[in-house]
Amino acid sequence: MSSLTTADILDDMAFFDDWESRYGYIIDLGRELPAMDEALHTPSRMVKGCQSNVWLDAQINGEKLHFIVDSDAHIVRGLLALVLAAYNDKTAKEISDFDIDGYFKQLDLERHLSMTRGNGLRAIVAKIRAIAAAVLADNYL
């Protein structure tokens, strides 16, 4: 999963003719995410604003940010995989510079999500971008 890029995902999604197949693909991506240690399922790691429970842990490896994520909903784990393809193991500057809205637009994603799922997706992105901003301001950890 970690080597999957946004370009790979865009190519794969274009292969499917309908959204039912795309949802299946997204759920499969979520199944490929590494498991998060249950000890990391803490209130401080919960992403607020999500319909489902979502946990996000950030670690700094050199200049790059590494994220460990989990959710109790299969589709949300898949959405987390889409987000990680854009942000995981990138520098804080790369994260802040990445056009996530353009990526989601290319996926035609938000049009096919419920409003609550879309809000949750934006909450996850906002939390990751806030972590990146804190790292850039040398104000993280």
Residues annotated as part of the active site: 50
Task: Give the dihedral sign, CA 79/25/109/93.
Answer: positive
Phi-psi region of 66 (alpha: psi -120 to 50; beta: other; left: phi over 0): beta
> What residues pair up with 64 in beta bridges, in sequence order?
61, 91
Q: How far is residue 102's CA from residue 90's CA, in Å, rounded to a whole number?
A: 18
Report how far residue 134's alpha carbon sits from residue 31's, in angstroms, rounded to the nearest whole number.
Answer: 30
Identify residue 12 by its one-letter amino acid code: D
C-alpha span between 10 and 91 (Å, rounded) = 22
